[in-house]
Structure 1
Amino acid sequence: MKQHLIVLDLDGTLLTDQKVISPKTKAILNQARNDGHQVMIATGRPYRASEIYYRELGLHTPIVNFNGAFVHHPDDKHWGLHHTPIGLDVVHEVVESMHAFDFHNIVAEVMDDVYVHHHDEKLMDIFSFGDPSITTGDLRNYLKTDPTSMLIHAPYEKVHAIHDHLSEVHAEVIDHRRWGAPWHVIELVRSGMNKAVGIDRVAKSLGIAKEHIIAFGDEDNDLEMLDFAGVGVAMGNAIEPLKNIANEITLTNNEDGIAELLMDRLKLTL
């Protein structure tokens, strides 16, 4: 069988709702690697919040973080580091425009440094994973470096209007995606950045053709990835737009959906 590249989103896909990798899924992924296939992670998380799972799986492949804005190889510095941040001028424009809306907070991440527009203990708990440096204060004053990504946290009823504004006014400079429940967050990266861009770079470095990529996802930041992959797989818990474009739909993240599909596709056994 041809070597495949298996691409895994984290939240809602590889991870159960308890944020762990199930023993069955881990065993099948290990079997896939033993059979010569490559396994990689593609996530919206920063590396500091995904390294624990990278190490748990014993991976030795590049990783896609920040939805494609940061692509690197944790164990091979010669592979290259591809970081494509948002311009500071764009950040200032977005922050300025958000003050016309009712929003809770804005967060900017510069690799492993976090900048929070308003102090918010609950929100800061999410970003404290991996012990980053956290700075609180108006981003227009405190943020001095082009950020890898931005996040806008807003009331549920305001998210749609903010989403429309970003599409109409800032579409040429940023791409944006919505987080799944319970957080009503819009995540921004530089225009043209998505998981598919990073996966394409990794696949070419490994010499694996597009048709031999199997990608798993569940949210709208996985749309380009599933559309790009030879086999795009939506989890049973995925949003409907993702299921509509997927080549296959598997079981949910709590039902070993990844393991079940790989056992069938790649003829793997426990």
Structure 2
Amino acid sequence: MTQNIKLIASDVDGTLINSEHQATEYTKEVIHRLKDHGIDFVIATGRSYDGALGVAQQLDIVEEGYGIICLNGLRTYNLPHEECVDGRTMTYEECMKMEQLGKKYHMGILYCYDDVIYFQMENIAYQDYTIGMKHNKLRFFKDRANTEEVQALSDIKHRFDANDPILKIVFVQNDDYLDLVFGRIKKEIHYDFDLLLVGHGWAEIMPKSVNKGEALIAYAASKGIKPEEIVAFGDAENDISMISRVGLGVAMENAMGSLKAVAKDMTDTNDNDGVAKYIEKILEDRK
């Protein structure tokens, strides 16, 4: 089957890069060999464009004509130009429902925009969040993200009034607590939206029509590539939509059980160059 592969898609965190947030030299070398075999490559991540671009720069592939699918499929870019295809965003009224749900379950709520992440968390919820977090508390804000604390969604209504698109909403909380209540919250999410457990203590809310799978299939189609000609790598629930729709969906050894359940194959962990090792096998099969 790998003889017919024309496109490889990879998630970033927990997949393409290691726990130190770095792409190894081995990974870079293997990805650079894809062009010699006529295989395209695309990054598919929950990160923003800037965060995904940083990974592309690490890999030194910005000028290679590859793609970036970011924000779980909300935006797709064709490098090296910043041509963008946008998906649907959430309305103020929809975000209000998410705020109410987050407050009900004592979540920290992140309202993510291009220029800033607004952070809302009640005192009791913050105390729950910091229990057991030690020096890692608020660890998700260490990548130089611009954050601003707000007391309520209404504090940023002016962004909606100005038609500034919100990129996504994230619920954050103490790992153990979020694991405990995640299923309950998921049952209360409106049917038009998905709640996706992306990492420990981190769950993202996106419209159902916005996901990596839809964006990847559309990106591939723009290049004349069929779903069965795609290999995709991932580790979390926001990767299920693409892992389940392509010809060969591959789960990392460190992936969540829900993703492994739909994957057709598995590779080594992100800390052991799992993506690069699997791609190497694909390239060996084509000789």
Instruction: State the TM-score, normalized to the length of structure 2.
Output: 0.82
Does 2:193 correspond to 1:174?
yes
Does 2:119 correspond to 1:112?
no
Cα deviation for residue 152 of structure 1 reads 0.9
Contact 1:84 1:148 in 2 (8 A): no
Structure 1 32/102 Cα, relative in aligned 2: closer, same or farther at 3 Å?
same
Unaligned runs of 5+ in 1: none
Cα deviation for residue 200 of structure 1 reads 0.9
Structure 1 177/220 Cα, relative in aligned 2: closer, same or farther at 3 Å?
same
Deviations 1:149-190 (Å, cap 9, x if unpaired)? 011112344425653444333332321111323xx1211112
CA distance in 1, matches of 2:79, 2:280: 28
Q: Which moved further from structure 2: 120-129 or 249-258?
A: 120-129
Does 2:129 correspond to 1:129?
no
CA distance in 1, matches of 2:261, 2:189: 27
Could you tell me which residue of structure 2 aligns to residue 6 of structure 1? 8
CA distance in 2, matches of 1:152, 1:80: 27
CA distance in 2, matches of 1:217, 1:67: 12
Contact 2:41 2:67 in 1 (8 A): no
Could you tell me which residue of structure 2 aligns to residue 55 of structure 1? 57
Q: Identity, % of aligned pairs?
A: 22
Q: Which moved further from structure 2: 254-263 or 217-226?
A: 254-263
Structure 2 counterparts to residues 1-270 of structure 1, below 5 A: 2=4, 4-57=6-59, 58-59=61-62, 60-77=65-82, 79-103=83-107, 105-118=108-121, 126-127=140-141, 129=143, 132=146, 134-143=147-156, 144-145=159-160, 146-160=165-179, 162-181=181-200, 184-267=201-284
SS of residue in 1 equivalent to 2:178: helix
Could you tell me which residue of structure 1 aligns to residue 130 of structure 2? none
Deviations 1:186-215 (Å, cap 9, x if unpaired)? 111122221101101110111111111010
Structure 1 243/118 Cα, relative in aligned 2: closer, same or farther at 3 Å?
closer
Contact 2:70 2:76 in 1 (8 A): yes
Residues paired across the two proteins, number: 264
Contact 1:177 1:187 in 2 (8 A): yes
Structure 1 22/128 Cα, relative in aligned 2: closer, same or farther at 3 Å?
closer
SS of residue in 1 equivalent to 2:111: strand
Contact 1:31 1:268 in 2 (8 A): no
SS of residue in 2 equivalent to 1:99: helix
CA distance in 1, matches of 2:220, 2:269: 26
SS of residue in 2 equivalent to 1:179: strand
Unaligned runs of 5+ in 2: 127-134
CA distance in 1, matches of 2:74, 2:184: 22
CA distance in 1, matches of 2:145, 2:109: 19
Contact 2:251 2:259 in 1 (8 A): yes
CA distance in 2, matches of 1:127, 1:80: 26
Higher helix share: 2
Contact 1:216 1:234 in 2 (8 A): yes
Q: What is the RMSD computed on CA atoms of the aligned residues? A: 2.5
**Code of the aligned partner of 1:69:** L
Instruction: State the TM-score, normalized to the length of structure 1.
Output: 0.87
Cα deviation for residue 226 of structure 1 reads 0.6
